[in-house]
């Protein structure tokens, strides 16, 4: 067994777990929120570890009593042998469901069998402060895998919508396209934006909020491009026990939540928001989304998301913030010795981006080359040499 790679703090914890699982590298992480009033792993992170344990065979976890240190030895990605998985998130989960879906999307192509995962419980399908909405994941994140010739059998089904702070939604992720090695990527032509699409959602509130958000967003975007279409989706709120979301206030039996509130119920997941994406003539996608803050008018939300999308487009490059690290991870998993290249906006490279690249260097043992793109001011060309790790469960191409 190889010596575990040592990291400290909870920074980039999810990305480190993904890298370790893809490469089979043990991790030893210390000082996880050691100076916080609530030290150790959060309920969302514990749930992610349980999900990884379900989808792999032979994984080993050793967590300290305080949760500030843990050892992870990954197993083989099997996808539960192709059988459907139902994973229940804690009611106290504050992360959007995309926090888990992005991990599933990166692991699924390298699984021994197809993925079919249903996420239920404290599922927040709307956008949060740290995570994108399921609509952005479905329309802007999943299409990135088509660049690596991974496009068949990918589907995200939104069964129940729910907003924060305590969600009660349900989504199903299906991925049936497993590969030995992803295709080498050469994506260097951003192109001009040709169309803008989006989804406005209202959960447990008036459908008029959707119309107001769409009108406000179009008032900003139609000055730049005429082809703007935003779909309106109206959903009912979820009815849960009155003590839902409180620590230790719920019992579970067969994946069903049974409260102790004496028959009293309440509505959760009420809210509205919007997800927008812009697609260029060369297939490059830029996205932005947001959920309404308390007492925020629908018009303000529509304009805010529209300006966020314009800022994302102004960053340039062929990949936006949403999928940049996923693209680089897939490129490094590619054919050994092949050099893949992608153009990114220079402003996208910040401290967090560099920190993730350092983690990749520690796990894969190779660096990423960055140089200015000629004739494209504000953009850089990122070169990645494939390590040929691929899918160890599939020996044939």
What are 5-31's pLDDT values in tens digits? 999 999 999 999 999 999 999 999 999
Read off the pLDDT of each residue in 144-160 and give the average, rounded to a whole number: 94
Those residues with Cβ within 8 angstroms of residue 232's Cβ, 6 or more apart along the chain or in another chain? 199, 200, 201, 202, 207, 210, 211, 214
Say if residues 326 and 383 touch (Cβ distance below 8 Å).
Answer: no
By residue count, the chain amounts to 397
The closest of 221, 193, 207, 196 to 302, measured between CA atoms, is 221
Note the pLDDT of residue 262: 56
Those residues with Cβ within 8 angstroms of residue 214's Cβ, 6 or more apart along the chain or in another chain? 200, 230, 232, 274, 302
Q: Which residue has the tokens 């995309």?
A: 98
Note the pLDDT of residue 397: 40
Residue 78 has pLDDT above 80, yes or no: yes
| β-bridge pairing 238-241 and 265-268 | antiparallel
Q: Model confidence at 92, in pLDDT bands (50, 70, 90)?
A: confident
Domain range summary for the chain, segments of one domain joined by +: 1-77
Note the pLDDT of residue 164: 82
Distance in angstroms (rounded) separating the CA atoms of residues 283 and 277: 12
Residue 193 has pLDDT above 50, yes or no: yes
Q: Take residue 81 and report the two structure tokens written for it.
A: 């042998």
Q: What percent of the chain has pLDDT over 90?
A: 79
Q: Which residue has the tokens 């999943």?
A: 142
**Hey, what CATH class is 1-77 in?**
alpha beta
Helix 43-55 vs helix 98-107: crossing angle, to nearest 10: 30
Residue range 305-355, pLDDT digits in tens: 999 999 999 998 999 998 999 999 999 999 998 999 999 999 999 999 999
Average pLDDT value for the chain: 91
Note the pLDDT of residue 221: 96
Read off the pLDDT of each residue in 245-268 and give the average, rounded to a whole number: 63
């Amino acid at each position: 067994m190889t010596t575990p790679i040592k990291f400290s703090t909870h920074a980039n914890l999810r990305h480190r777990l993904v890298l370790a699982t893809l490469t089979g590298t043990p991790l030893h992480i210390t000082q996880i929120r050691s100076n916080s009033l609530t030290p150790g792993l959060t309920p969302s992170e514990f749930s992610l570890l349980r999900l990884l344990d379900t989808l792999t065979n032979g994984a080993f976890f050793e967590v300290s009593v305080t949760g500030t240190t843990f050892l992870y030895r990954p197993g083989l990605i099997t996808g539960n042998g192709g059988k459907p998985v139902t994973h229940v998130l804690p009611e106290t989960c504050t992360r959007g469901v995309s926090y888990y879906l992005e991990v599933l999307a990166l692991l699924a192509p390298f699984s021994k069998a197809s993925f079919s995962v249903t996420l239920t419980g404290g599922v927040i399908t709307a956008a949060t402060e740290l995570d994108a909405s399921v609509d952005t994941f479905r329309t802007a994140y999943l299409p990135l895998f088509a660049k690596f010739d991974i496009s068949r059998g990918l589907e995200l089904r939104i069964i129940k919508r729910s907003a924060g702070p305590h969600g009660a939604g349900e989504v199903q992720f299906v991925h049936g396209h497993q590969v030995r090695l992803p295709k080498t990527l050469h994506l260097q032509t951003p192109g001009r934006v040709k169309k803008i699409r989006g989804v406005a959602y209202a959960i447990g509130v008036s459908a008029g909020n959707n119309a107001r958000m769409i009108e406000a967003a179009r008032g900003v975007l139609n000055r730049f491009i005429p082809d703007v279409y935003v779909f309106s989706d109206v959903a009912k709120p979820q009815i849960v026990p009155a003590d839902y979301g409180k620590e230790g206030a719920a019992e579970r039996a067969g994946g069903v939540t049974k409260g102790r509130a004496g028959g009293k119920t309440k509505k959760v997941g009420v809210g509205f928001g919007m997800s927008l994406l812009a697609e260029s003539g060369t297939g490059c996608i830029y996205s932005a989304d947001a959920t309404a803050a308390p007492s925020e008018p629908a018009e303000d939300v529509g304009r805010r998301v529209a300006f966020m999308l314009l800022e994302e487009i102004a960053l340039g490059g062929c990949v936006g913030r949403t999928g940049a690290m996923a693209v680089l991870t897939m490129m490094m998993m590619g054919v050994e010795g092949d050099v893949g290249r992608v153009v990114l906006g220079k402003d996208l490279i910040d401290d967090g981006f560099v920190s993730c690249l350092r983690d990749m260097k520690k796990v894969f043992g190779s660096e990423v080359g960055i140089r200015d793109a000629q004739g494209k001011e504000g953009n850089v060309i990122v070169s990645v040499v494939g390590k040929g790790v691929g899918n160890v469960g599939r020996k044939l191409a």
